[in-house]
Amino acid sequence: MKKISVLIPCHNEEKSLPLLYPELVKLMDSISNYEWELMFVNDGSTDGTLELLRQLRQQDQRVNFVDLSRNFGKEAAMLAGFDYVTGDCMVIIDADLQDPPELIPEMIKWWEQGYEDVYAKRKTRGRESWLRKRLSLMFYRLLQSSSRFDVLQNVGDFRLLDRSCINALRQMRESERYTKGMYSWIGFKKKEIEFDRGNRVAGSSSWSFRQLFSLAIDGITSFTSLPLRISTVVGFIVSMLAFIYMIYVFIKALIWGDPVQGYPSLVILLLFLGGIQLLSLGIIGEYIGRIYNETKNRPDYIVRNFNDEKPL
């Protein structure tokens, strides 16, 4: 019998889990020709999430939980899940029921037909602020146009991955993780299905604006070095303009004998160039910071316990 794992990263989800679990049980009972495994990753929750997982495991041996030593963020929590799941395929789903479990049977159907990565695309995004929607759109445009891989818009982590994909993702141990890009990078046979994204059933989104922003920067820096090239190009253009301006000033002074009135233009140029230089430095700095982090080669997450026993 084939085994299906469901991976659920959880950060302070004590309010959502009691709603999610019955849904998953309904699903598992309705598709009984598979063996099931629920893999919860407790990503350093500060509420009663862990207690709840313990209780669930006592009633139901299909429930497994990885308890991380602190909050490592969803990307790292998912990697922990990739390492611990044992299924022939894995479905990643949010704990807040924003990803409808009713879609899973359809995913399994496509998987059985040979697709290795069945992902769900949101037709609608659920309740989110206008600004977040706009910024997210802008971000995907930017990433789309600057990298060689399709990083799909309105596609999240809600997907079914075949064992071959899981193994591929497990090899990617970079610490600045942008998993959404990795799904495209690893390739494999993909299938898109659509759904309407609902609202969170309980609790609130754990992503602060700052975290989303830094995820966006991670996304860009880990999949493209275009910003570096942009600073080269801008530098080149500015130098050319400066050169033309210099010739113009020379001609004006030498041929027509115009006295050079320089102060305001000097200040403007100085500020402009200074700004561009700082910007370029900043861009280089972003990459260097990431190089520094990667070279430390630290593990992406630390596990305290697996099912209340010693970790792998």
- Interface with ligand UDP (CB under 6 A): 9-11, 13, 43, 71, 73-74, 77, 94-96, 98, 205-207
String of contacts with Mg ion for each residue 37-76, x by CB under 5 A: ----------------------------------------
* Pairwise CA distance, residues 305 & 66, whole Å: 6
Would you say 71 or 154 has its CB closer to ligand UDP? 71
Query: Which of Mg ion, ligand UDP, none binds 74 (CB below 5-8 Å, type-dependent)?
Result: ligand UDP
To the nearest whole angstrom, how small is the minimum distance from the Cβ of residue 230 to ligand UDP? 29
To the nearest whole angstrom, how small is the minimum distance from the Cβ of residue 23 to ligand UDP? 14
Q: Does 98 bind Mg ion (CB under 5 A)?
A: yes
Q: Does 179 bind Mg ion (CB under 5 A)?
A: no
- Yes or no: say if 101 and 36 are a contact pair by the CB < 8 Å rule: no
Applying CB under 5 A, the site for Mg ion has a residue count of 2
DSSP letter string, 47-71? STHHHHHHHHHHH-TTEEEEEESS-
Would you say 110 or 197 has its CB closer to ligand UDP? 197
Would you say 2 or 127 has its CB closer to ligand UDP? 127
Name the DSSP class of 304: E
- Yes or no: say if 276 and 234 are a contact pair by the CB < 8 Å rule: yes
Would you say 80 or 283 has its CB closer to ligand UDP? 80
Query: Which of ligand UDP, Mg ion, none binds 9 (CB below 5-8 Å, type-dependent)?
Result: ligand UDP
At residue 6's C-alpha, the angle toward residues 2 and 11, to 5°, is 165
Name the DSSP class of 33: T
Task: For residue 74, give the 3-state DSSP assignment.
Answer: helix
Helices 226-254 + 263-296 axis angle, to 10: 160
Tokens of 102: 């009713």
Q: Does 96 bind Mg ion (CB under 5 A)?
A: yes
Write out the binding residues for Mg ion, residues 107-126 only, by CB under 5 A.
none
At residue 26's C-alpha, the angle toward residues 81 and 127, to 5°, is 70
Q: Does 162 bind Mg ion (CB under 5 A)?
A: no
Of the candidates 191, 187, 184, the residue with the CA atom closest to the CA atom of residue 149: 184
Would you say 98 or 222 has its CB closer to ligand UDP? 98
Q: Which residues here bind Mg ion, judged by CB under 5 A?
A: 96, 98
